[in-house]
Amino acid sequence: MRSRDNILSGHLVQPMDAEDLDEVMAIETVSFPKPWTRSMFEGEFRNPVSSAYVLKVKVDEMEEVGAYIVFWVVHGEAHILNIAVDPEYRGRGLATRLLSMMLQIMKRKMVYEVFLEVRVSNDVARELYKKFGFREAFIRKNYYGDEDAIVMILDL
């Protein structure tokens, strides 16, 4: 098992591929009450409007997935579907770095507005998104089945 005391060196952001899925699934299952399935991620690889990226970290001379994101771009709008950081590496700026790079990619794809849903109880994520300029627009009742979602919007 990794130790939080290990020193992270280097961050590499690259498109997610099938070889990343074991690590992505390990993060997914500990990050969400209702995690995506492996087939859901595989479906995103085939979806022409979908983009999926991983942020790899080097720890103890090994490279591993520290965070990932999946988003769609359709007609100038982006929708962030899934973003997570390995619990071992939370609080170290990985989500900030990944989201920053993804917003740059979205701008190059001529995106003018970004949407996402976040659990009402997820204060850490809400604060991260606000740091980037996302605003809380409205509530989707029972979006997660067991909890409401806040829809957040960013004008690029």
> pLDDT value at position 7?
47
144 is catalytic: no
Helix, strand, coil % in the chain, rounded to nearest 5: 30, 40, 30
77 in Cβ contact with 112 (< 8 Å): yes
> pLDDT value at position 11?
75
pLDDT in tens, 36-79: 999 999 999 999 999 999 999 987 778 899 999 999 999 999 99
Give yes or no for residue 1 having a pLDDT over 50.
no
Banded model confidence at residue 96, pLDDT cuts 50, 70, 90: very high
Give yes or no for residue 103 having a pLDDT over 70.
yes
Give yes or no for residue 5 having a pLDDT over 60.
no
Mean pLDDT of the chain: 92
> pLDDT value at position 54?
97
> pLDDT value at position 90?
92
> pLDDT value at position 12?
86
Residue 46, token pair as written in the block = 């085939």
53 is catalytic: no
> pLDDT value at position 142?
95
Considering the candidates 53, 68, 89, 129, report the single residue annotated as catalytic.
129
Residues sharing a CB contact under 8 Å with residue 153, sequence separation 6 or more, in sequence order: 113, 114, 115, 134, 135, 137
In this structure, of 52-66, 74-88, 91-105, 131-145, the range with the lowest mean pLDDT score is: 52-66
> From CA 88, how far away is CA 40, in angstroms rounded?
24
CA distances from 125 to 3, 32, 129, 134, 135 (A): 23, 13, 6, 11, 12
Considering the candidates 23, 77, 117, 136, report the single residue annotated as catalytic.
117
What are residue 84's phi and psi, to 5 degrees? -155, 155
Q: Calculate what percentage of the chain has a pLDDT beyond 70.
A: 94
Q: What class has domain 8-155?
A: alpha beta
Three-state SS for 59-113 is: ECCEEEEEEEEEEEEECCEEEEEEEEECHHHCCCCHHHHHHHHHHHHHHHCCCCE
For the chain, the domains span 8-155
65 in Cβ contact with 55 (< 8 Å): yes
Q: What average pLDDT score do residues 26-43 get?
A: 96
Candidates 86, 79, 72, 80; CA nearest to 24 is 86
